[in-house]
Structure 1
Amino acid sequence: MKKLTLLLLVCTACFMRAQTKAEVAIQQYEEKFPQEKISIILDKDRYISGDQIWFKAFVFDGNTRSEISTSLFVELYDANKKLVTKKLLPLYKGEGKGNLKLAEDLKENIYYLRAYTSWISNFSEDFIYVKQIAVYNPSSEEKLVKNPVSNWSATVHPESGSFIDGVETKMAVRLHTNGGSPKSWKGTVVDSEKPEVAIASFQGLDENVGFLSMTPQKGKKYQVIVQDNLGKQSMIDLPVVQEKGIYLKVISNDSAIKYQLIGSSGNIDLKNYKIIGTINNRLVYKAVHKKTGRDSYSIPTQQLINGILQLTVFNENEKVIASRLCFVKPNNLEVQKPNLQSIKKSNQPRSLNQFEFAPQTNYSSYTVLVQDIADENIQVSHNLLSDLWLTNDLTSVIKSPAQYFSKNRSTEALDALLISERWKRFDWKNIITGNYPFIKHKPEPYLSYTGSLTINQSPAPNTEFNLAYRNENSDLKIIPVKTDNSGNFAMQNMIFDDTYKFYYQLNGAKNTNNVKVFAKSNLSAIPYLNTLPTSEYRLEPRSKDEEADPEIAQYVVAKKIQKNFDQKINEIEEVKLKAKKKDKTKVLNKELSSSMFQSADEIVFDFVNDNMSAMGSPDILQWLNGRVAGLEIRREMGQSVAYIRGSRATIFLDEMRAEPSMLNGISVNDIAMIKVFKGISAVRSGSSVAIYTKRGGSSNEKDGTKSGMNEIVLNGFDKELAYNNIDYKNTNPSDIPTDLRKLLYWNPNVATKDKQDAIIQFYNNDSPKKQKVTIISLDDDSVHIPLYYSEILP
C-alpha cells in the first residue's frame, strides 16, 4: 500500500466530519488531473556539432512511474526558438530512450532540449521540461562565453506570506541572476527611518537563498539591504506590517513536521481553522484547529515520502489564510543504492575495468554511465533527484538544484528556498469553485490513428477492410478494421518505427481504385509558446588565429573516435549477421515478434519447426491448457478465456490486442507460434498470450501484399539507434590512434535476468583520471523510492 494513503487514513480518523469543498476539490483534481513530470538523463554535459545526444527519459506521475502517457516528444530548439531536430519515442512503464543527431555545421550556441507528453500539454507550459545544452563548433564565427556576475536582484519572502505585528517571522531572501552568481553575499534589515541601525543580519546560504528572523512592529517600515562581495547593493522594501493575521510556522525534521498557527495580538479566534497538506496534488493530511493558543501540532513522517509538502490554512469560509511549502524528511532521503562488487579497476591507458552489482528487489532495469573526470568535487547541476523532488514542481529558476540532495546538502538552505516559493500546479480558489483545467489532449495508447473509408468518394459506413504491411523483419502483418456508422475508424496501440506503407483491401471484394482510405495520427507536436529560458552564456566573435579551448578540442577528437568506431562495429555486425547460425525457433521468434514482445520470461511454442499439431483441439487456447504452469483455460459465455495465476490474461493476435471471440475464425493450422508471458512488460500491463499466424510469401504477392492493392503511408516512432561502447578487445588499436573520450560507458537499459548480477565493463582512454559511475533505476511496485548512485569508482 502506498505511504501517502496510510497517513491520510490516520489523520482523518482523528477528525470525523463531513468533507468540505477544499477536500472534495483536491481529491477530484488528483483523480481527474494527475500531473506528469519529466527527467532527462544525458550522456554528457556539453556537445560538439555533429555529435549524437544520447538520453534516457523518465516520466513520473507524482513520484511513481507514469502509466498515463505512452509516447514522448523530444525537441531541440536554437536560440531563436527555431526547431533544430525532434523525436517521437515510445514510453515503456514511464521510460524512454533515444538520441538526437546534431548537424556537422550546427553553429556554436546554447540550444534548448524540450520534452513533453500530450497529457502534460493540457496544463501550464511552465511545467514542460526544458534544459539548456551547450553545443560547440570551433568552425563557428562566434564562440560561447559565460557571462560574468550579472546585475542580480533580490526578493524577500516572509514565511507563509504573513508579516504580522509582534510575531517573530522567518524570512527567505532570494537572489535572482541571469549570469554568474556573486561569490558571496549578505544583508541586513533596517528601519527606513533609521537606516544606519541594523535590526537583523544574514549571510547568503548559497547562490539562491539566505534567511533571517525578525519581529516586526506595527507602523514601522522595513527594508532589506543586500550586498555582494564586490560591494554592489540592492534595497528591498518589506511588506507592510499587518495588524491582524495568521502566521504559519513550520519546522520539518525526519520524524515529524511540526507547525503552529500563530494569531496576532488582536485575539483572532483560530478555532475551526482547517489545515490541509498535499504532496504531488494528493491529499495526505487534514486537521481542524480546536484550540486558540500557540499550540504546536505534529505530522508524523514515517508514512510520508520525500518531496514537497504544501500546508494550507483555511478559515471557516474556506478562504486561504496562509500557506507554506516544506520538504519532507530533508535529512533522510529515501534512495536505494546498488552495492558495487567484484571491482577490477586499472589506471593504465586503454585498460579494461569491471564492476558488478546485484539486482535490487523491485528494480529490473538500470541506466548506467561511466565518465572520466579530473575533479571529483565538481557536481552536476541537475540530476534525477532534483528533477523528481524539486524543480519539476516549481517554475522559478533555481541554480544547481542537485546540491540540495547531495551528501553535503544544506537543509536550512532548502527550507529557505521553499519559503520563497509558491505551489502553482493548481490554485485553491479555482478548484474549489470548479474551475478545472480544460483537457484538449487526451492520452493515446502508443500510436493511434483516426481515418475514414470512402467508396466512390462517399463514406462507407459499417464496412470491413484489411490493412496489411511488412514490418522491419519483412513479416506480413494484417490489421482487420471496421468503420462506424459514419464511415470513420480508429486504430490504437500500434507500435512501429519509421515510415510504413499500409496496403488496404475490402473484405470479400476485389480491390478497385474507387476505394480510398485516409488516416492521420492522433499525436501532434505542441507549439513552443513560452519564452526561452535566459542563458548564462553569450556569444562573442572568434578571432581567426584563436586556438581552440583544450577541453573543446578533446571533445572534437572524442567525436571522431566514436564515429570511426561505430562504422567498424556496423561492418562487423553485418559480417556476423550473415555468418551466425541461430536455431530455427529463435529465427522464427525474431521474424514474427517485435522487440516489445520479446522477454526473458516468455514461453514459446513453435508450430512451424517443432512438428507440433493442434488438430483435434476445439480452439488454440484449449490446446494450451495444461502445457504451461499456472495457465488455465476457462469457458465463459461460450468462449475460451485464458487465466494465468488466477488473473485474466490479455490476448494478442499478431501483436494487436484481441478479444477471445476473434480467435474463432482462425484455423489451428494457420498458427505459426504462441508465446506465453507471465509478467509485466513494456506493452503488457499483466500476463498475456501472444498468438502469431503464418505469413504468406507466394508468387502473386509484391512487397507483402497482393498486386493492385492501394496504399497509405503512416509515420511511426523514430527508430532507436544503439550506442556502441568502445571495446579494445575486439578492436585494432591502430583504428583509434588517439583516445580522449570522457564518456567511457553508456547503457540506458541494463536489464538483469534471473536475478543474475549485472556486469559492467569499460575501457579507459589514453589519459585516465577518475571514473565516475552513475546508476539510476525506478522501482516497479510504486514504493516511491528511486535508485540513484553517482560516485567515484572505489
Structure 2
Amino acid sequence: MPKKIIAMKKLLLLISLFGLAPVLKAEDSTMVRLKRFFTNISAYDNMYTQEKVYLHLDNNGYFPGEKIWFKAYVLTAGRLLPTDLSRILYVDLLMPDGTVWDRKILPIHNGRTYGEFDLSDLLRTGFYEIRAYTRAMTNWDAAYVYSRVIPIFNPPKDTVSFAPLDLDLSAPLFKNRLRRSQQAAPLIAPSAQQQKGHILTFYPEGGNLVKGLPGRVAFKLTDGRGLPIEDELVVCGNDDRQIDKVRPRHEGMGLIELPENWSGGYAAIAGEKGEMQRFPLPKAVEEGCTMKVESDSNGDMKVIISPNDRMLNRKLGISITCRGMACFFDTVNTDRSCIIKKIPRKQLHDGILQTTLFTSEGQVVCERLSWCIPQKPPLVLATRQSGTSFQPFNPIALEFYLKDQSGVPLEGDFSLSVQDCAGNIAESGADLRTDMLLCSDLKGYIEHPEYYLASNDEKRLKDLDLLLMVQGWRRYEWKQMSGVRPFKLKQPAEDKQIFDGWVVDMSKKQRPLPDFNLSMLLVRYDGISSFKFSDTKTNADGSFAFSSDEEIYGDLLGSFVATNDKDKRLKAHILLNRNFSPHPQPYEWLQYRYFKSPKQLPESVVRTPETFKWIDTLSKVRHLPPVKVAEKESRFTPPFGTRWTYYGGENAARRAHSCIYFNIEEELQQYLDSVGFEPDIYDWIEQVMPDFTHEKDQPGKLTYRG
C-alpha cells in the first residue's frame, strides 16, 4: 500500500511539472521579447544618430537692404557634442508664401559654420522664415528642423526713433500657387475640439484614462487662432453633476484631477453670449495602467505605476530615454495595485526624459515626458566694456572672461551679436541652451521658452511639467526606437560631398538603366578649376552616387556621360537626388507678434556693466584716393527704361508692381530632377499656376482666368 501511495505522489509531481512547463516557457518568451526591445533601444542612437542645428542671428528684425548674419552650431542630438556625422549644412530663407528666396550650402567644421543673407532685392516685407538642416535630418519629421520666423519691416520714415514699424501682410494674388497657407494657423492635435472661438485639447497623463483608477488630464485652451486664453472650465459627469472648476495655470495650460469612479463626462466653457459649450473628456480604456513621474530634491526619479484589475499579473517592460539615448531599463510585474521604480540621478541625462511602459507584444501601455534638471553647472562668461554709453560710430572695446563655477579660466569660442537696447523690435527667441535642451524636442512654437529654464523654482517646474504633458507628438517614437515599426533611412549623412541620383531612359515611363557606366565632370563657370570623378556603375534600380573629400562649393557646371559595357554613349535622363528640403510649415499666430515701436528692456533685466579704462588709438582720418569724373551719368539709363529708372530702377518696379515671385533656379532644379528635361516656359506656368492658359498658336500670350 505504501508503495502505491509513493507511486501516486510521483505521478502527481510529474503532472504538476508538466503543467508548469508551458508557464515557464511563456515567461521565457516574454523576457526574450522584452530584452530584444531593450537591445534595439540601446543601439538606436548609434544606428540612427540624429542632429540638431541652432542659428545665432545678429538681430531680431531687419529692414530691406540689410544683411542677416548668422553663425550655425550643429550638434549630435543625443550627447549635444559637435557633430562628426555631417559636413554640409543647408540654410534656407523662405518668403511668407513658402517660396525659397535664397539658399546657402555651407561647409561644417567642428560642428560650426557661418554665413549671411543679403536682403537688398526683396520684393516685399513681411514674416520670413529661416530654417537650417543637414541632409540626414530630413529622414525625420520636418517639424524638428531648426526654424525661426523673423519680421522684415518696411524702411522707417523716422530713422531716429524707428516708429511706427510696419510690414506687408497682404496675401499674393494667386493663392493656388502658395506652398503654405498665407493665413496663420494654430498647430492642432488630432484630438483637439473646436467650438465658437475655443480650441480645447485634452492630454490624459500617460496617454489614457483607465477605468477604476483616478486620473489626471492636462489641457490646453486657446482661442480660434491658437492664442492662449484663461477661461474657466467646469468639469461635469455624464449626469451633469459638477465635479470641479479649473482655470489654466500658465499660457492656457492646466490640469484636471478625476476620481477613480469617473465614468465619463465633459468640460464646459462659457461662450461669448453666455451659452455653455461642452467638450467631451476622453473615454477611459477598459484595460491599462496609469503612470506618474516625480523627482526629489536630489534629482532622483520615481515612477509610480498603477494597473487596474484587468491589467494585474502581467510582465511589462519600462524604458527611460533622453534624446534617443537609453538611460534605464527594467521589467515590471503588475502583481499589486501600486508599483514604484526608483532611478538614481546618475543614470539620467539632462533635459527631457521619455518614460515608456510597454508589453512584450510591443504595445505602449503608457508614456510620459518629464524634465530632468541639468546637473552640470553652466559656465560663467564675464564681460567688461570701455564705457556705459557710446556715440554713433564710436569704437567699443570689450573684454571677455570664461570661467567655471570655481573661477578656473577656460578656453572656448563663441559668437557675439551687439544690438542697441532701444532698437528691440521683436522677440529674441530661444538661446542655444534652451533650444537644444527644450525647444528642439517639442513640436510647434513655444512662446518665451527662456521662462521655463530661468530658474528651478517650484512654479516654473510645474509650468514646465504642464508644457511637457500637453505634447501630443514625439520626436523619438518608441515603436521606431524599439524596432516594432521598421525604419529605413531615405537620405544619407553627408560626411563628404555626395552627388547621387538615377539614370533613366528617355521614355515617359522613365525606366531605370542598370549596370551602366557613368562619369561626371564639374567645371567652375570661370573655368579656373574642374573636378573629375572616377567612373561608377548604376545599380539595379538605376541609382548611382559620386563622393568627394574635397570641398566643392559655388557655381559649377556639371556634365555626365553614360556608356554601356562596350563604351558606347547612350541617351538618357540624369535625375539628381537634391530635392530633399522640408516642406514649409504654416506659421502660428504667436509668430506674428512684433513690437509696433522699439521696446525698451525692463530695468530689472538691464544690469550695470563693468567697465575698464581704454585709450582710443584708432585713427579718425581716412585719406581717400582722388577720383576723376569722366562723364556725368544720366539717370535715365538703359536697360531698365526711362520711367522706372527714375523711380528707383528695376528693383523698385518689381517691389511696387509684382504680385508673385518665382525662384527660377530652384523651380528648374526641381523640375529637371523629377522629369529629366527642361520644360517649355508657358507649359510650366500653366502647370504651377492653373489660372493661366496659353494658346499653342500664339506664343508669348498668356490668358488669366481668375
Contact 1:462 1:482 (C-alpha < 8 Å) held by counterparts: no
What is the DSSP-based 3-state SS (H/G/I as helix, E as strand, rest coil) of the residue aligned with 2:75? strand
Moved more, 110-119 or 485-494: 485-494
1:494 paired residue among 538, 550, 560: 550
Structure 2 unmatched runs, 5+: 1-30, 157-164, 171-182, 187-195, 404-408, 503-515, 561-567, 600-618, 626-668, 670-706
CA distance in 2, matches of 1:159, 1:489: 47
Q: CA deviation at 1:231?
A: 7.8
CA distance in 2, matches of 1:287, 1:22: 11
1:461-540 to 2 correspondences below 5 Å = 482-483=534-535, 490-499=546-555, 524-536=578-590
2:280 paired residue among 237, 247, 253: 237
**Equivalent residue, structure 2, for 1:151:** 197
**Equivalent residue, structure 1, for 2:47:** 32
Look up the equivalent residue of 2:89 and give its one-letter code. Answer: L
Look up the equivalent residue of 2:549 and give its one-letter code. Answer: N
More strand per residue: 1
Residues 291-314 of structure 1: CA deviation (Å, up to 9, x unaligned): 524142211123432221111112
Q: CA deviation at 1:366?
A: 0.5
1:124 paired residue among 136, 141, 144: 141
**Equivalent residue, structure 2, for 1:419:** 469
Residues 505-535 of structure 1: CA deviation (Å, up to 9, x unaligned): xxxxxxxxx999x999977242443542334
Look up the equivalent residue of 2:387 and give its one-letter code. Answer: K
Q: CA deviation at 1:262?
A: 0.6
Contact 2:536 2:546 (C-alpha < 8 Å) held by counterparts: no
1:207 paired residue among 242, 251, 254: 251
Q: Are residue 91 (structure 1) and residue 108 (structure 2) matched?
A: yes
Q: CA deviation at 1:256?
A: 1.3
1:391 paired residue among 436, 439, 461: 439
**Are the structure 2 counterparts of residues 284 and 85 from structure 1 closer, same or farther at C-alpha, using a change threshold of 3 Å?**
same
Look up the equivalent residue of 2:370 and give its one-letter code. Answer: C
What is the DSSP-based 3-state SS (H/G/I as helix, E as strand, rest coil) of the residue aligned with 2:305? strand
**Are the structure 2 counterparts of residues 388 and 227 from structure 1 closer, same or farther at C-alpha, using a change threshold of 3 Å?**
farther
**Equivalent residue, structure 1, for 2:332:** 289
What is the DSSP-based 3-state SS (H/G/I as helix, E as strand, rest coil) of the residue aligned with 1:388? helix
**Equivalent residue, structure 2, for 1:564:** none
**Are the structure 2 counterparts of residues 208 and 377 from structure 1 closer, same or farther at C-alpha, using a change threshold of 3 Å?**
farther
1:214-363 to 2 correspondences below 5 Å = 214-219=258-263, 221-226=264-269, 235-253=278-296, 254-264=298-308, 266=309, 268-270=311-313, 272-290=315-333, 292-329=336-373, 332=374, 334=376, 336-350=378-392, 352-359=395-402
What is the DSSP-based 3-state SS (H/G/I as helix, E as strand, rest coil) of the residue aligned with 2:436? helix
**Equivalent residue, structure 2, for 1:45:** 60
**Equivalent residue, structure 2, for 1:658:** none
1:588-603 to 2 correspondences below 5 Å = none
1:575-654 to 2 correspondences below 5 Å = none
CA distance in 2, matches of 1:411, 1:573: 60
Q: Are residue 181 (structure 1) and residue 181 (structure 2) matched?
A: no
Contact 1:246 1:261 (C-alpha < 8 Å) held by counterparts: yes
**Equivalent residue, structure 2, for 1:169:** 215
CA distance in 2, matches of 1:113, 1:263: 46
**Equivalent residue, structure 2, for 1:615:** none
CA distance in 2, matches of 1:51, 1:574: 25
What is the DSSP-based 3-state SS (H/G/I as helix, E as strand, rest coil) of the residue aligned with 2:380? coil
Moved more, 148-157 or 285-294: 148-157
CA distance in 1, matches of 2:386, 2:148: 35
CA distance in 1, matches of 2:185, 2:531: 60
Count of aligned pairs between the two proteins: 514
Q: CA deviation at 1:158?
A: 1.5
CA distance in 2, matches of 1:183, 1:230: 17
What is the DSSP-based 3-state SS (H/G/I as helix, E as strand, rest coil) of the residue aligned with 2:217? strand
Structure 1 unmatched runs, 5+: 1-15, 453-460, 505-513, 540-547, 553-568, 576-714, 716-794
Q: Are residue 371 (structure 1) and residue 419 (structure 2) matched?
A: yes
**Are the structure 2 counterparts of residues 481 and 82 from structure 1 closer, same or farther at C-alpha, using a change threshold of 3 Å?**
closer
Residues 80-135 of structure 1: CA deviation (Å, up to 9, x unaligned): 22221111111112222111112344312222222221111122223233322211
1:74-89 to 2 correspondences below 5 Å = 74-89=91-106
CA distance in 1, matches of 2:306, 2:289: 6
CA distance in 1, matches of 2:272, 2:429: 23
CA distance in 1, matches of 2:222, 2:596: 30
CA distance in 1, matches of 2:597, 2:45: 51
**Are the structure 2 counterparts of residues 178 and 282 from structure 1 closer, same or farther at C-alpha, using a change threshold of 3 Å?**
farther
**Are the structure 2 counterparts of residues 486 and 155 from structure 1 closer, same or farther at C-alpha, using a change threshold of 3 Å?**
closer
CA distance in 2, matches of 1:573, 1:482: 54
CA distance in 2, matches of 1:574, 1:334: 54
More helix per residue: 2
CA distance in 1, matches of 2:154, 2:321: 47
Q: TM-score, normalised by structure 1?
A: 0.55
**Are the structure 2 counterparts of residues 190 and 90 from structure 1 closer, same or farther at C-alpha, using a change threshold of 3 Å?**
same
Look up the equivalent residue of 2:132 and give its one-letter code. Answer: A
Q: CA deviation at 1:70?
A: 0.9
What is the DSSP-based 3-state SS (H/G/I as helix, E as strand, rest coil) of the residue aligned with 1:382? coil
**Are the structure 2 counterparts of residues 482 and 257 from structure 1 closer, same or farther at C-alpha, using a change threshold of 3 Å?**
same
**Are the structure 2 counterparts of residues 106 and 466 from structure 1 closer, same or farther at C-alpha, using a change threshold of 3 Å?**
closer
CA distance in 1, matches of 2:501, 2:218: 56
2:125 paired residue among 83, 89, 108: 108
**Are the structure 2 counterparts of residues 468 and 148 from structure 1 closer, same or farther at C-alpha, using a change threshold of 3 Å?**
closer
Q: Are residue 55 (structure 1) and residue 105 (structure 2) matched?
A: no
CA distance in 2, matches of 1:121, 1:436: 17
User: Which gives a bigger RCO, structure 1 or 2 (Cα 8 Å, sep 6+)?
Assistant: 1
Contact 2:351 2:371 (C-alpha < 8 Å) held by counterparts: yes
